[in-house]
Amino acid sequence: MSQPLLEVRNATKIYRGGFLRPGQQLVALQNFHLTIPEKPATITAIAGESGSGKTTLANLILGFIGLTSGQILYRGQDISVMSPQQKLQYTRQVQAVFQDPYAVYNPFYRVKHIFDLVIKNFKLAPNLHAARELIEDALKMVGMRGEEVLEKYPHQLSGGQRQRMMVARAYLLKPSLIVADEPVSMVDASLRAMILDIMLKLREQQNISFLYITHDLSTAYQVCDDIYILYQGSIAEKGDTVRVIENPKHPYVQMLIESIPVPDPNQKWDTNVTLPSEEELRSHVDVGCRFYPRCPYRMDRCLIKQPALFQIDSGDHQAACYLYDPAVPSAEAQAGVTEKPAANEAE
Amino acid sequence: MTVTKNRTSGLGKDGAGSHVLEVRDLRVHYATPLGDVIAVNGVSLDVYEGETLGLVGESGCGKSTLAMAILRLVQPPGRIVGGQVRILGTDLVRLKDAELRQVRWSQVALIPQGAMNSLNPVMRVKNQIAEAIETHQGTRDPAELKERILRLLAMVGLPGRVYNMYPHELSGGMKQRVCIAMAISLAPSLIIADEPTSALDVVVQRVVAQTLLDVKRTLGVSMILIGHDMGLMAQLVDRIAVMYAGNIVEIAPVKDIFAEPLHPYTQLLLASIPSVKERKPLVVTEGLTHDLRRPPPGCIFQLRCPFVMDKCREVVPPLRELRPNHYAACHLY
């Protein structure tokens, strides 16, 4: 295999307790692996609930914070030991789009300002005319026209328009990777599709890869190639998005997918389903599988050591669950597997 | 149980199908230097006894303003310009402030948006709920009060030890359920819940949603549920009112609206629900809305409507009953 575009190797991030609580630790990301190939461009989803470590991962890749252990390699080069020259190149090649399209604009400047800054900082254009052409080109990519928007103030644009302008700003630098942290969660449902569609277009036509960080499995399912589902800082399940969502294997992922409201009033939630009390949802186990307190199929061995990623089938579909441990006599694991349809009756 | 007893005594004798809330031609404007923004433009709707009405629409369409206006809680520069809000026959718009305070919370309770962040961080859960009760009903016997609060907590599925806890010791879902407990503490006839499950993870969202369903079933209380997630609405409500730019464009029983959405905007909302069952091409639409200060003549949806006709640019389509109990404001029919 050729050199990947971005590789995260065995990444661990631990936040240590601050001044008031010395000694307390929070493992935000644990032994995380991720590979984004150079070609073809892909959209990779990082999905999980709040607190699962997905934004920590984005901040690590963007270089806002440093790893506790492990490596992040961009085209084979460790980003923590880059020279200033390489670092500049990296910040240009890897762009970000954030969740809140309201907070990223300075309300006192016309929206043109965000483009002018980028062009100035990276010296993209020799003169104003060339700069304007670059901006128009980027705006065209997201279906907007300069004369319509550039002279406006941020409050005159809708959330969807602002978010498209952020994508245009990122595209201006012709990056190889865009880290999009919840880009559509604050955009209205009827306009979400437009932003997702722009992501697809940039992938197809411009060969730009995306790391799509989201809590929403349904939008990930619609646009992503690969998916990594995190639970409390570790990968619960990963693989081809369609396979993972249509046929989830990890008990946590099954529970997540089952909890998504079905948009059909004739298919009501089975209200007899009992969910664990929320104290259980919040409790942690320090060793062993972190999902143990909530898991309907928990076994004694889950408490001893955290499960590694086990292969589900011939593809890259993997789940971190002992139910899929090939080393175990399959009778026990199978017993767990066959029980599942009962818990999953909503399907 | 006290809660149920209070409720039945406060209600008229008329049986099912009677109105708890009648809103007639309600108008709310926000003053800006460049003219008034019409946030709620002549909305009329009814909520029946024991029913849950879903109010959906995108951000800025006026759904939260409508909720606040029902309780007469619109803050300046906003103001109620006209219309009626009748709760069990009493018109809130005309009440004096002192009389209004009697109705608010005891007859209509609000679970505001981001309610879980509205809890007082330095007050124990028991004191916050007790305050809500004693403000309206006067000082109570401590033992009776404690028993009542514990019963409320049990009703929203929280363990008794939450009684003595501080908000920061609770998770988001638990805090949200404390807010639900406060909302039902005076046995209101109507609860208005503004995005009660936003900012919660899907699994917790489901727990909170089920709590709402359970509360409604046990108390028979009516609810207005404000949200933007059509999937969640399908699970929780009996009827849906779709709002666009300050107007109700469609209102119908939930099954009918999912089976046959009539207004083009409702069709768009339903088409843009992402599915986890089948991967389908994205439905991309332009999202230009008119300036809310200067609504165009004719239909408010004309700028985004795929079926726009000449008539739509001239005549405002009225909300008409196009199918039994199914109202829509569109010239197509």
Q: How far is A221 from chain B (nearest CA, A)?
A: 6
Residue A283: how many other CB atoms lie within 10 Å: 12
Q: How far is B91 from chain A (nearest CA, A)?
A: 33
Whether B274 sits inside 8 A of A219 (CB atoms) is yes
The answer as to CATH 3.40.190.10 being correct for domain A6-107+170-231 is no
Comparing CB atoms, the residue among A192, A217, A275 nearest residue B206 is: A275
Predicted local distance difference test score (pLDDT) of residue A340: 42
Whether B275 sits inside 8 A of A263 (CB atoms) is yes
Q: How far is A112 from chain B (nearest CA, A)?
A: 20
Asked if residue A219 has pLDDT above 80, the reply is yes
Closest B-chain CA to A248 = B276
Whether B159 sits inside 8 A of A263 (CB atoms) is no
Give the contacts of B9 (CB within 8 A, at least 6 positions apart): none
CB pairs under 8 A between A and B: 128
Domain residue spans of chain A? 6-107+170-231, 257-343
Q: How confident is the model at residue B18 (pLDDT cuts 50, 70, 90)?
A: confident
Q: How confident is the model at residue A279 (pLDDT cuts 50, 70, 90)?
A: low
| Rounded Cα distance, B55 and B57, in Å | 7
Q: How far is A85 from chain B (nearest CA, A)?
A: 40
* Composition of chain A by helix, strand, coil, percent to 5: 40, 20, 40
Mutate to test the interface with A, among B53, B201, B243 (most CBs of A within 10 A): B201
> Looking at residues B14-40, what average pLDDT do you find?
83
Chain Cα centroid distance, residue B18: 19
Residues of A in contact with B258 (CB under 8 A): 263-266
B200 in Cβ contact with B146 (< 8 Å) = no
Percent of chain A surpassing pLDDT 70: 87
pTM (2 decimals)? 0.82
Predicted local distance difference test score (pLDDT) of residue A285: 55
A79, two tokens: 């980003």
Residue A267: how many other CB atoms lie within 10 Å: 12
Whether B230 sits inside 8 A of A193 (CB atoms) is no
Percent of chain B surpassing pLDDT 70: 93
* Whether B316 contacts chain A with CB within 8 A: no
Give burial (CB, 10 Å; 0-12/13-18/19+) of A324: buried
Expressed in angstroms, the distance from the first to the final Cα of chain A is: 38
The interface predicted TM-score of the complex, written ipTM, equals 0.76
A103, two tokens: 């907070």
Q: How confident is the model at residue B17 (pLDDT cuts 50, 70, 90)?
A: low
Whether B203 sits inside 8 A of A259 (CB atoms) is yes
- Which phi and psi (to 5°) does residue A227 adopt? -140, 140
pLDDT in tens, B146-201: 999 999 998 888 888 899 999 988 888 888 889 999 999 988 999 999 988 877 88
Predicted local distance difference test score (pLDDT) of residue A5: 93
Residues of B in contact with A161 (CB under 8 A): 287
| Rounded Cα distance, A109 and A157, in Å | 13
Whether B282 sits inside 8 A of A193 (CB atoms) is yes
Q: How far is B4 from chain A (nearest CA, A)?
A: 23
| Rounded Cα distance, A179 and A280, in Å | 33
Mutate to test the interface with B, among A264, A266, A271, A273 (most CBs of B within 10 A): A264
* Whether B159 contacts chain A with CB within 8 A: yes
Cis peptide before A40 (omega within 30 of 0): yes
Alpha-helical runs (H) found in B111-157: 125-137, 142-155
Whether B276 sits inside 8 A of A261 (CB atoms) is no
| Rounded Cα distance, A96 and A116, in Å | 17
Predicted local distance difference test score (pLDDT) of residue A329: 58
Whether B258 sits inside 8 A of A265 (CB atoms) is yes
Whether B280 sits inside 8 A of A269 (CB atoms) is no
Whether B205 sits inside 8 A of A259 (CB atoms) is yes
Identity of the amino acid at A59: N
- Which phi and psi (to 5°) does residue A58 adopt? -60, -45
Predicted local distance difference test score (pLDDT) of residue B289: 67
pLDDT in tens, B77-89: 889 999 999 988 8
* Whether B111 contacts chain A with CB within 8 A: no
pLDDT in tens, B244-258: 988 999 999 999 999
